[in-house]
Structure 1
Amino acid sequence: MSNPHPHDPLHGLTLATILERLVEHYGWEQLAEQIPLNCFKNEPSSKSSLKFLRKTQWARDKVEALYIATYAA
């Protein structure tokens, strides 16, 4: 059986997993430098960041793009 999404590096990943891996890799401070969002700058937490990213598609797109650039390059 072949992979139905062979060119999608985000296939099978939840937003929570993507954010967790980026925070582990960059830390909140450097993540806020890469993507300047208040949810990463002011008292950052996974819960508040996920809530914002789930509601704000343009911000989620930036997070996903950074994940691809970091891990799929």
Structure 2
Amino acid sequence: MSQINNPLHGVKLEQIINVLVAHYGWEYMGYQISIRCFTNDPSVKSSLKFLRRTPWARSKVEAMYLDMLSKKQKH
């Protein structure tokens, strides 16, 4: 099965978080996805730990990343 059309293929979770933080900031991310690792003393390390153990939250973060990519491509 090919992953050519999958924009998440080969992108690490840490990269996704770093790109989102640079683009949106922790405050907006915490507003969009209400999880404590984004709202209370946020850090990449705490976010990675939580998101790796919490599939529903990880899928929301990945969806936010894909949405950001699609908006960038339109502009």
Q: C-alpha separation between the residues in 2 aligned to 1:31 and 1:57? A: 17
**Paired position in structure 2 for 1:69:** 67
- Relative to the length of structure 2, the TM-score reads 0.88
> Is the 1:9–1:72 contact (alpha carbons within 8 Å) kept by the matching residues of 2?
no
Q: 2:30: which partner in 1? A: 32
User: What percent of counterpart residues are identical?
Assistant: 53
TM-score of the aligned structures, taking structure 1 as reference length: 0.90
Tell me, in whole angstroms, the C-alpha distance in 2 between the residues paired with 1:12 and 1:70: 17
Alignment match of 2:52 (pick from 51, 54, 57):
54
What is the aligned residue count?
A: 70
Is there any run of 5+ residues in structure 1 with no aligned partner, and where?
none
Partner Cα separation in structure 2 for residue 9 and residue 57 of structure 1: 18
Aligned structure 1 segments of 4 or more residues deviating by more than 3 angstroms: none
Aligned Cα RMSD in Å? Answer: 0.9
- State the structure with bigger RCO (CA 8 A, min sep 6), 1 or 2: 1
